[in-house]
């Protein structure tokens, strides 16, 4: 049976231009949830999600060009934003004030992500490097070199052991955080990697690409665990649910929810139009269309 989904709440005119990034986190002090949005109108906005509605808390000014990426710290009341103006800005979510501004260099902060311990902020660059900045110092601590092309997406594993990056040429790289070594280079996609996400147990990596496919990889061995082809256009976002059994994806055409199942037998991946064999011990089943969303994770935020 196909699940039906409806819009829970809709905020009209949230920004004056396109919203390029959304992050969802938990405000432990107020026992509420926080949504941060970044837009091409140069603004970062902080919203409080309560009683099934969004209330604007702060409209943060400072960026001189469009905001392309935002994230929320997993343990601190801090948000980060990156912009086409080549700056990363850190914001205090309690008072709406800017904490610091980091000059990341031209096109060197297209995407960003907090580390699970919130001590570092990783950014993808146009020359294939991942720059790691100290949240406290605001300085670049080190770089991870993929020897590849423009990095469009990055993600830390929840256990803090790995960092994955996705590039404009479809290449995915996985690094060991402790050593800084490149562990795996994955070449399963043919077009830009728009989004990637680790499962809550850090064992799987799900990737989304302009080629219309979603791929699932075994992180430790870099084995392809499954390929999904339910979307009719670019796949722009993927995000895991906290229960470790579902993830959501969004494309230019429609959003989908997928269920992960495991077992000793070769599983199948079902969509509304076809049934395909997946050569691995993880399967994904499309349950039906759902609205594009950001899901809260067990560590306090989602990017």
pLDDT for 291: 27
Place of tokens 């995407």: 111
19-302 placed in CATH 2.130.10.10: yes
Q: pTM for the full model? A: 0.80
Residues 129-158 have a mean pLDDT of 96
* SS3 category, 153: strand
* SS3 category, 144: strand
Q: 9-18, 28-37, 84-93, 199-208: lowest mean pLDDT where?
A: 28-37
* SS3 category, 160: coil
Helix (H) or strand (E) holding 37: strand 32-39
Domain assignments of the chain as residue spans, ordered by start: 19-302
pLDDT tens, position by position, 50-90 = 888 899 999 999 999 999 999 999 999 999 999 999 999 99
Write the DSSP string, 47-103: EEEETTEEEEEEEE---SS-EEEEEE-SSSSEEEEEETTSEEEEEETTT--EEEEEE
Residue of 176, 241, 248 whose CA lies nearest to 208: 248
pLDDT tens, position by position, 227-281 = 887 777 788 888 887 777 777 777 765 545 555 554 332 333 333 222 223 333 3
Token duo for residue 124: 């993808």
Contacts of 129 (CB under 8 A, 6+ apart): 108, 143, 144, 145, 146, 151
Rounded Cα distance, 35 and 9, in Å: 13
pLDDT for 303: 37
Torsion of CA 54, 47, 207, 179, to 10 degrees: -150
Q: What is the largest CA-CA distance in the chain?
A: 54
Token duo for residue 56: 């604007």
């Amino acid at each position: 049976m196909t699940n039906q989904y409806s819009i829970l709440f809709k905020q009209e005119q949230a920004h004056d231009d396109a919203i390029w990034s959304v992050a969802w986190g938990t405000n432990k002090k107020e026992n509420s949830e926080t949504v941060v949005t970044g837009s091409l109108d140069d603004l970062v906005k902080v919203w409080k999600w309560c009683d099934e509605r969004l209330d604007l808390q702060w409209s943060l000014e400072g960026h001189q060009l469009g905001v392309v990426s935002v994230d929320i710290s997993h343990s601190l009341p801090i948000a980060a934003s990156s912009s086409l103006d080549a700056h990363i800005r850190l914001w205090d979510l309690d008072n709406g004030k800017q904490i610091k501004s980091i000059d990341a260099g031209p096109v060197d902060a297209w995407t960003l992500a907090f580390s699970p311990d919130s001590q570092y902020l990783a950014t993808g660059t146009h020359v294939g490097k991942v720059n790691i900045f100290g949240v406290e110092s605001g300085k670049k601590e080190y770089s991870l070199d993929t020897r590849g092309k423009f990095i469009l997406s990055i993600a830390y594993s929840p256990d803090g052991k790995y960092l994955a990056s996705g590039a404009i040429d479809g290449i995915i790289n996985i690094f060991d955080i402790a050593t800084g070594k490149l562990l795996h280079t994955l070449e399963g996609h043919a077009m830009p990697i728009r989004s990637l996400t680790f499962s809550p147990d850090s064992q799987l990596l799900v990737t989304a690409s302009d080629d219309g496919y979603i791929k699932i990889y075994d992180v430790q061995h870099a084995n392809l665990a499954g390929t999904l082809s339910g979307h009719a256009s670019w796949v722009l976002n993927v995000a895991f649910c906290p229960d470790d059994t579902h993830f959501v994806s969004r494309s230019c055409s429609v959003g989908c929810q997928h269920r992960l199942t495991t077992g000793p037998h070769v599983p199948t991946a079902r969509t509304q139009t076809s049934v395909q064999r997946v050569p691995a011990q993880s399967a994904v089943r499309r349950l039906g269309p759902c609205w594009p969303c950001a899901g809260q994770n067990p560590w306090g935020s989602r990017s």
